[in-house]
Amino acid sequence: MTVITKIKWVDYVVFGLSLFLIFCLVFDSYIELPRLIAWLGRWHPLVLHFPIVLLLLCVFLGLTNKKIPKLLLTLAVIFALVTAISGFFLGKETGVKGELLFWHQWLGGGLALLAAIWYWLDGVSIENKILTKILQVAIIGLVFFTGHYGGMVTHGEDFLALPLEKREEKIPENPLIYKDVVGRILDKKCVSCHNPNKKKGELLMTSLNELLAGGEVGNTIIPGNPQESELIRRIHLPIEDGDHMPPDGKKPLDANEIQILEQWIAKGASDTLRLQHLEASEPLAGLIRNLMQPDPNEKWVRLPKVADSTILRWSSDYLTIRRIAGGVNALSVNLYKSPAYEAKQLTDLKFISENIVQMDISGIPIGQEEMNLVASCPNLEWLEIDQTPISDNELDTLKVLSDLKILKIYSTAISDKSIPVFKKLKGLQKLYLWNTKISSNALNELKNANPTLKIDSGIDEELQNTFVKQDSLSKN
């Protein structure tokens, strides 16, 4: 065993930094940093990448029994120590250290010190291969866990969760209003600063009890009284106001979200209230239902691209083609009666049939050719073919439109023979079919087969209800 006695100045640096780090970790709670020093902590996210790469490189060489260049190991160790110390400074800027930060700090500190021990062992050239190997493996583990906790501190606990799980979860049927709606709004827009790791204003927003307990100012939420609740007051302040929440620069709550929070507090800020407990006419119920609608734009991202120039070229005085919303490739097609109508006006659109989600060709003298075009639009959701000459024969073509939700087909010659087609359209939500040859028996059969389908066969359902109500009132 040869002990190198020549101590170089780098050894002092490593020794000094190690001592300083140990001091920081041990006396954490007694240390107050001057602002300039605390500012050094801001470099932590930048420098931390160096020791990760350098240490892993050293470990790789070590485990594969190659010689580790002394300079490489020295740099790795110094960077590890500097990173740990800068991380400590950064942590000082966070008022209260939560569990994640606690673990990140101690794992990172441990990693740097372990690297320093390795440096020292290497310096004295102790031929203890097993010990060095254990140390190297431990370093890999520490790099992984330190990084993992660090990621969770900065990006939230589910940072490394699979992207699939990270996607916004669908709100369940009959949601719990606190857990599934209010809680998610807060998670998305507030919890990043009001959690155990970053307890801004001494306010935690990760559970209802914590919200009710409030923060520094207090009165965060007063059940039944949104006007007096600090949380509501702050989200209504002008964005320039220093008290506005979330602070300027963060994505603010939208009008829908603000109303949901207000109404939920007005209803007593309960965590057991469900959507079904609310009357359908209550504003809160409507707001939540809005939220439960799938985002239409997302549904259409997979459609083939359609250029604005294409839309312009094919539009005419009698044919309007429009995007359903700005920037989406889902189109709405409206055809108006022209003196020189020919089927070609519509059948020419075959090349964008995948993009057509709404079509209004009511009042046009259409036949089988046009119906074939309609049936070739697999994403069609809304179709108006009322007041046209179509009959049961042509209607049969439509049975492939599985996405069709709304069908206006009143004032046509269709009869009971078309009922099987309607039954096949599983996605159908609303059907307008007064003034046809369909019998009331067939209608009832259809209603039984598809109870969620709303059929408008003349009298508006709401009108019918009030009609029935008034009728029974007059009897009393």
For the chain, what is the largest distance between any 2 Cα atoms, rounded to a whole number of angstroms? Answer: 111
Binding residue (CB under 6 A) for ligand HEC from 100, 111, 245, 356: 245
CA distance linking residue 399 with residue 457, whole number of Å:
20
Residue 356 CB neighbours (<10 A):
26
Q: What is the β-pairing status of strands 430-432 and 454-456?
A: parallel
| Interacting residue with ligand HEC among 59, 214, 346, 358 (CB under 6 A) | 214
User: Which residues in 109-120 are b (16+ Cβ under 10 Å) and which e?
Assistant: bbbbbbbbebbe
Residue whose CB is less far from ligand HEC, 227 or 466? 227
Rounded to a whole number of angstroms, the minimum distance from the CB of residue 87 to ligand HEC is 20
Q: How far apart are CA 51 and CA 140, in angstroms?
A: 12
| CB distance 245 to 235 below 8 Å | yes
**Contact between 218 and ligand HEC per CB under 6 A:** yes
CB 227 within 8 A of CB 243: no
Nearer to ligand HEC, 260 or 383 (CB): 260
- Please count the other Cβ atoms lying within 10 Å of the Cβ belonging to residue 72: 14
The backbone torsions φ and ψ at residue 4, rounded to the nearest 5 degrees and listed phi first, read: -80, 120
Mark the segment that binds ligand HEC (CB under 6 A) among 94-102, 211-219, 351-359, 365-373.
211-219
Query: Nearest approach, Cβ of 234 to ligand HEC (angstroms)?
Result: 5
ω before 246 within 30° of 0 (cis)? yes
Which residue lies nearer to ligand HEC by CB, 203 or 433? 203
Binding status of residue 193 toward ligand HEC by CB under 6 A: yes
Beta carbon nearer to ligand HEC, 42 or 129: 42
Window of 102-110, 129-137, 227-235, 379-387 that interacts with ligand HEC by CB under 6 A: 227-235
Q: Which of 85, 90, 115, 190 binds ligand HEC (CB under 6 A)?
A: 190
**Residue 172 or 218: which CB sits closer to ligand HEC?**
218
Which residues have a Cβ under 8 Å from the Cβ of 467 and sit 6 or more positions away?
A: 459
Backbone angles phi, psi at 358, to 5 degrees: -135, 140
Is residue 98 near ligand HEC by the rule CB under 6 A?
A: no
Burial 140-151, CB ≥16 within 10 A → b, else e: eebbebbbbbbe
Can you read off the two tokens belonging to residue 232?
Answer: 């509501």
Q: Which residues in the 421-450 window bind ligand HEC by CB under 6 A?
A: none
Q: In whole angstroms, what is the distance from residue 377 CA to residue 352 CA?
A: 8
Q: How far is the CB of 34 from ligand HEC (least distance, A)?
A: 21
Which residues are CB-contacts of 191 (< 8 A; sequence separation ≥ 6)?
A: 205, 206
Q: Tell me: does residue 253 bind ligand HEC (CB under 6 A).
A: yes
Look up residue 403 and give its DSSP letter: T
Per CB under 6 A, 234 contacts ligand HEC: yes
Count of residues interacting with ligand HEC (CB under 6 A): 24
**Least distance to ligand HEC from the beta carbon of 212, Å?**
12
Residue 254 is a binding residue for ligand HEC (CB under 6 A) = no
243 binding ligand HEC? (CB under 6 A) = yes
Start-end of H helices in 190-341:
208-213, 230-236, 255-266, 283-292, 296-299, 308-314
Q: Is residue 52 part of the contact set for ligand HEC (CB under 6 A)?
A: no
Residue 256 CB, shortest distance to ligand HEC, in Å, is: 13
Dist. CA 402–CA 116, nearest whole Å: 66
230 touches ligand HEC by CB under 6 A: yes
Residue 246 engages ligand HEC in binding (rule: CB under 6 A): yes
CB of 194 to ligand HEC, least distance (A): 6
184 is a contact residue toward ligand HEC (CB under 6 A): no
- Rule CB under 6 A: is residue 200 a binding residue for ligand HEC? yes
Site track 347-376 with ligand HEC (rule: CB under 6 A), x = hit: ------------------------------
φ/ψ of residue 323, rounded to 5: -75, 140
The nearest distance, CB 242 to ligand HEC, in angstroms, is 6
Q: Does 331 bind ligand HEC (CB under 6 A)?
A: no
217 binds ligand HEC (CB under 6 A): yes
Candidates 77-85, 126-134, 193-201, 345-353; binding stretch for ligand HEC (CB under 6 A): 193-201
192 binds ligand HEC (CB under 6 A): yes
Provide, rounded to whole angstroms, the least separation between the CB of residue 197 and ligand HEC. Answer: 12
Percent helix, strand, coil in the chain (nearest 5)? 55, 10, 40
Distance (Å) of CA 113 to CA 22, 28, 55, 369:
8, 16, 12, 79
Q: Where on the chain is the footprint of ligand HEC (CB under 6 A)?
A: 189-190, 192-194, 200-201, 203, 214-218, 220, 230-231, 234-235, 243, 245-247, 250, 253
